[in-house]
Amino acid sequence: MKVSIVVGTRPQIIKSAPVYHALAKSGHECDIVNTGQHYDYEMNKIFFKELSLPDPSADLNVGAGTPSEQVSAIVAGLGKLFASAKPDLVISPGDTNSALSAGIAAAKSGVPLAHLESGCRSNDFQMAEEVNRRILDHMSQLLLCPTPGCVKNVRAEKVLADEVVNVGDTMYDSLLRFVPSLQKIDAASKHGLEEGGYAFMTLHRAETVDDPGSLRSVLEGVGSLGIPVAFSVHPRTRERLRAFNVSPGPNVTLLEPLPYVETLSMASRSKFVVTDSGGLQKEAYWLGKAVLIPRDETEWHEIVDAGAAFLTGSSAEKIRRDARKLSRVRQSAFKATKRIFGRGNASENVVRAVSRFLGAGGKKGS
Ligand code: UD1
């Protein structure tokens, strides 16, 4: 049985890596197809290297474009590929344009589809990812959910999948693999920062950075926190800073987009994290760091409910107010709901679910 995992952006590579390794170990024939939605070395290939993945079996090199251009190029490329490679199952991780496109291409090619990280919801239909993940869930035959809450979400929507399985979060598997080596990697001092004496920040969501008012307000908020801020800047954000002529405050140091392990190291040595990334919200939580989330909602509300993260929106005043609460976050907040993301063996659970699904004949896609 041949399983193809389709990736194209950095979070998808991180989510997929432990699944690829577990599938390969279990004897499944498995390959990785790269759409090339992210195309800079530090946004894509470096993660293959860090996470010990083989070169992709195919690279579509779609690059930048409007969402419609990205989706149509990927669907067309994958359609051709699936017709010749004939995988028995396509695994599509996450909620990016690459993830949606892999789902459409699989469905149109009659290839069974599994959605990895199924069921997470922000209930914000303005968000491209919310639309992508909902459509993907309804196209897929095998739903691999990271938390019990995600299972509840797809059940509530009455999706017609053959199987819905709570496997745990494969990003947690990836993180646990690298936690022992984080002691040895001191990314903070490389950037002239003292352990526990800075905030680590990433911003890349269209809702945060494509609106000049919201981008300015978030930067004004973090600019007034009275602590050095190490800001790993996504290419989209760098472009918006330039286009809107916005400069962060003097306490903010701009960094290139950091590789995976360096990102974990920066988060683990920080005082706290500021991020609109869903992935980094969870990583910070697993590393015991409190988070300011400059959004109005999150897919990972369990972390907010546990008191380890604060939804500040883009208001500078709310960022300042919530930052004052960070010192009162207790260590118990990080233990309260950690297990809802699994025990670090999500990828093995994925292999079991995939084997069962394929053994049962893997219903053909619609
Ligand atoms: C995408 C995903 C988002 C995910 C994020 C991770 C969608 C709708 N969004 O957002 O869910 O959290 O990836 O990073 O799929 N660019 C470069 N070099 C690159 C990649 C992008 O310069 O290697 C620039 C280009 O100008 C591009 C822009 O960033 O147009 C946005 O990239 P895109 O892939 O469209 O969306 P992301 O913001 O990265």
pLDDT tens profile 248-269: 999 999 999 999 999 999 999 9
Q: What's the rounded Cα separation, in Å, for the pair 54 and 94?
A: 20
Query: Which residue minimizes the CA distance to atom 30 of ligand 1?
Result: 64
Q: Residue 67 in contact with residue 128, Cβ under 8 Å?
A: yes
Q: Which of 111, 89, 106, 98 is nearest to 3 (CA)?
A: 89
Q: Which of 281, 284, 290 is nearest to 331 (CA)?
A: 290
Query: Which residue minimizes the CA distance to atom 3 of ligand 1?
Result: 96
Give 339 Cα–ligand 1 centroid separation in angstroms. Answer: 30
Give the number of the atom of ligand 1 that is nearest the alpha carbon of residue 43.
23
Give the number of the atom of ligand 1 that is nearest the alpha carbon of residue 42.
23
Contacts of 74 (CB under 8 A, 6+ apart): 8, 35, 37, 60, 62, 97, 98, 101, 102, 105
What's the pLDDT at 363?
A: 58
How far is Cα of residue 90 from the mean position of the Cα atoms in its chain?
A: 19
Q: Give whole-number Cα distances, 56 to 8, 45, 53, in Å.
A: 10, 10, 8
Give 268 Cα–ligand 1 centroid separation in angstroms. Answer: 25
Give the number of the atom of ligand 1 that is nearest the alpha carbon of residue 9.
13
Q: What's the rounded Cα separation, in Å, for the pair 282 and 363?
A: 33
The values of phi and psi at residue 265, to 5°, are -65, -45
Are the folds of 2-169+342-359 and 181-341 the same? yes
Q: Which of 21, 115, 204, 234 is catalytic?
A: 204
Give 326 Cα–ligand 1 centroid separation in angstroms. Answer: 30
Q: What's the rounded Cα separation, in Å, for the pair 82 and 90?
A: 9
Domain ranges of the chain: 2-169+342-359, 181-341
What's the pLDDT at 366?
A: 38
Give 38 Cα–ligand 1 centroid separation in angstroms. Answer: 6
Q: Which of 98, 90, 39 is nearest to 71 (CA)?
A: 98
Q: What's the rounded Cα separation, in Å, for the pair 91 and 354?
A: 9
What are 198's two structure tokens?
């800075």
Contacts of 77 (CB under 8 A, 6+ apart): 35, 60, 62, 105
CATH top-level class for 181-341? Answer: alpha beta
Residues with C-beta less than 6 Å from any ligand 1 atom:
9-11, 37-40, 43, 64, 95-97, 128-129, 204, 234-236, 239
List residues bridging with 6 in a β-sheet. 33
- Architecture of the 2-169+342-359 domain: 3-Layer(aba) Sandwich (3.40)
Q: What's the rounded Cα separation, in Å, for the pair 323 and 326?
A: 5
Q: Which of 199, 226, 228 is nearest to 294 (CA)?
A: 199
Give 34 Cα–ligand 1 centroid separation in angstroms. Answer: 14
301 given a catalytic annotation = no
> Mean pLDDT in each 10-residue stretch from start to end of the chain (366 residues)?
96 98 96 97 97 98 95 98 97 98 98 98 94 98 98 96 97 96 91 96 96 98 97 98 96 97 97 98 97 96 95 98 95 85 97 94 55
Give the number of the atom of ligand 1 that is nearest the alpha carbon of residue 97.
15
Which sign does the torsion angle of CA 342, 54, 104, 140 carry?
Answer: negative
